[in-house]
A = this chain, B = another copy of it.
Amino acid sequence: MDAEIIAVGSELLLGQIVNTNAQFLSRKFAEMGVNVFYHTVVGDNDKRLAAAIEIAESRANLIIFTGGLGPTKDDLTKETISRQLGKKLVYDEEALHSIQEYFRKTGREMTENNKKQALVLEGAQVLPNDHGMAPGMVVTIKGITYMLLPGPPKEMEPMFLSYGFKSIMNKLKSHDRIESKVLRFFGIGESLLETKIDDLLENQTNPTIAPLASDGEVTLRITAKHSSREKCEEMIAEAEKEILERVGQYYYGSNDTSLVKELVKELTVRNLTISAAESLTGGMFQEYLTTIPGAGKVFKGGIVSYTNDVKANVLKVSDKTISEHGVVSSQCAMEMAQHARELLDAEVGISFTGVAGPDEQEGKPVGTVFIGISFRNGETKSERLNLVGSRAQNRIRSVKYGCHYLLRHLTQ
């Protein structure tokens, strides 16, 4: 099966947004063993879209469209395809109902052009939109499969994963399965990790091993291809064993986990509650923690002490500490963690204080960060980081180091 991804939207051609949808879908197709030979981006223009469709039909038998399913006049993907394929557009009752429901619930006025979103190609399989109003659809005509997905990634990605993926898998002739597993590492750079498994990367064919770095984390995706799922898993397990023998000390989890998910998991199994005191991270640690449903079982809350007087008056950091060591110090981090734990009556306290940038503070350079952790048994310690990055990078990396620091302490 040869695929082409056509993104429809003038905002892409004006450079207002970047085509992350093509990347997301290309990754999925690579995992599924579907070749993607072209990406095309075309504007909200009927003629040029029609031309792009004809070209795609000449070189692909799976054409994925993203964008142009919305309510407005320049959303014309469905309309153009319907003309190209000579397929009528008909109302999908379920979609129409859920659109009406949406407006009823939000108490907003439903305009006529919203109904347009419930129109689908006659005879197409409808892909429900669980995060928006415009449904997707799949239809196969003369050996070519057309899949229409919405433009907003928040709608397109879950729609593809929940419905589009399966619908394509069912059409795949090859019975080779593709299984993959992502190993997650923290505390080691991409290039150092690569040198440690250089020979494995060199000689890879099946399974393949693909490194990827982001925000101080490195992942290795192991992908195996075989007719039997068991055999795929064997091949992956073998590669995983080899890799972890070399860099196992940096490994923290696999697949869709994250440092913060692992932290919530470890706190939950140990039946520990946590509270936080944040300065440079401004609440980011707590925000991350609470992205996870069920975090409420372990997370009590915390203090964002962005100014020194809040550190002194609310968190009760001693004047002596602030005057002698400053707020960017190991002593301050430890007091913040301890007092956050006591004030919110939690078993564990964690704190973040440091210089996010752009300006230095207390004569300490940008990137100087102290993380404190404190436990009900009185044990309180801190770790110093010297980060090199932008303000945003320093904040997110501080949060990740904090999760990792506490994780190490809990699991060792």
Contact = CB atoms under 8 A, between A and B. Distances in A.
Bin the interface of chain A by size: 35 or more
B283 A302 contact: yes
Given A14-B27, A18-B20, A388-B105, A306 B287 contact: no
Contacts of A282: 283, 286-287, 289-291, 295, 299
Given A282-B286, A287-B284, A300-B309, A314 B20 contact: no
A362 to B, nearest CB: 13
Chain copies in the assembled complex: 2
Contacts of A310: 300-301, 344
Interface stretch (A165-173, A189-197, A400-408): A189-197
Kindly name the residue among A42, A59, A194 whose own CB sees the greatest number of chain B CB atoms within 10 A. A194
B287 A281 contact: yes
Interface stretch (A82-90, A108-116, A136-144, A233-241): A108-116
Given A16-B210, A23-B15, A131-B393, A195 B111 contact: yes
Interface string A213-227: 110000001010000
A395 B223 CA distance: 35
Kindly name the residue among A36, A189, A285 whose own CB sees the greatest number of chain B CB atoms within 10 A. A189
A318 interface: no
Nearest to A113: B191
Given A301-B304, A306-B300, A293 B39 contact: no
A302 B304 contact: yes
Interface stretch (A48-56, A121-129, A263-271, A371-379): A48-56
Does more than half of chain A's interface fall in helix, strand or loop, or is it mixed? mixed
A323 to B, nearest CB: 20
A206 interface: no
Contacts of A162: none
B189 A108 contact: yes
A112 B390 CA distance: 25
Contact of A290 (B15, B23, B276, B283): B283
A105 B244 CA distance: 28
Kindly name the residue among A27, A48, A51, A310 whose own CB sees the greatest number of chain B CB atoms within 10 A. A310
A306 B299 contact: yes
Given A18-B22, A113-B195, A309-B345, 11 more contacts: A14-B210, A15-B22, A15-B27, A16-B27, A38-B42, A39-B41, A51-B59, A113-B194, A152-B214, A300-B306, A300-B310
22 contacts: A11-B212, A15-B29, A15-B30, A19-B19, A38-B52, A51-B59, A71-B190, A71-B194, A72-B191, A105-B386, A113-B191, A114-B191, A282-B283, A283-B287, A283-B302, A290-B304, A290-B395, A293-B391, A296-B307, A301-B310, A302-B304, A309-B345
